[in-house]
Copies of this chain bind each other. A is one copy, B any other.
Amino acid sequence: MKIEDIAEYLKNNGIKPSYQRVRVFEYLIKNKNHPTVDMVFRALVGEIPTLSKTTVYNTLKLFAEKNIVIVINIEDNEIRYDADTSVHGHFKCEKCGKVYDFQFDEENLNIKTIEGFDFRQTHLYIKGICKNCKMNY
């Protein structure tokens, strides 16, 4: 998505594109780093000095309600956000802390014992050591 299209995208999803909302969404699609609220706030408050952390909380919560971001709970002490809403997995490296995306075959999961349940969201999380950290230590 291009920066110019963000306001339109928000509108199409029932969100009024205020300046702060556009800037938060822009941060997500530009960086793709699965940031926490604090990471978004610290990255933007330099350019938007009046920005409140409450606004970042409100904005990301609104985005999640409108389903234009995914909430990532791979770690119990931090909530991360992702503007890529397609089905994909997340790998968190226990050494460097980076969160990687990966693809997997949802159809082949062959899920048993919860037939007849309605699936709304699927999250696959893997923790371990990334290739880069394995080589450098």
Contact = CB atoms under 8 A, between A and B. Distances in A.
Interface of A: 71, 73-76, 79, 89, 91, 93-94, 100-105, 108-131, 134
In this complex, which of A114, A127, A130 has the most chain B Cβ atoms within 10 angstroms of its Cβ? A114
Chain A's interface: helix, strand, loop or mixed, by majority?
strand
A76 B57 CA distance: 14
Number of copies: 2
A101 B76 contact: no
Contact of A108 (B108, B114, B115): B108
Nearest to A135: B116
A136 to B, nearest CB: 13
A103 to B, nearest CB: 5
A106 B103 CA distance: 14
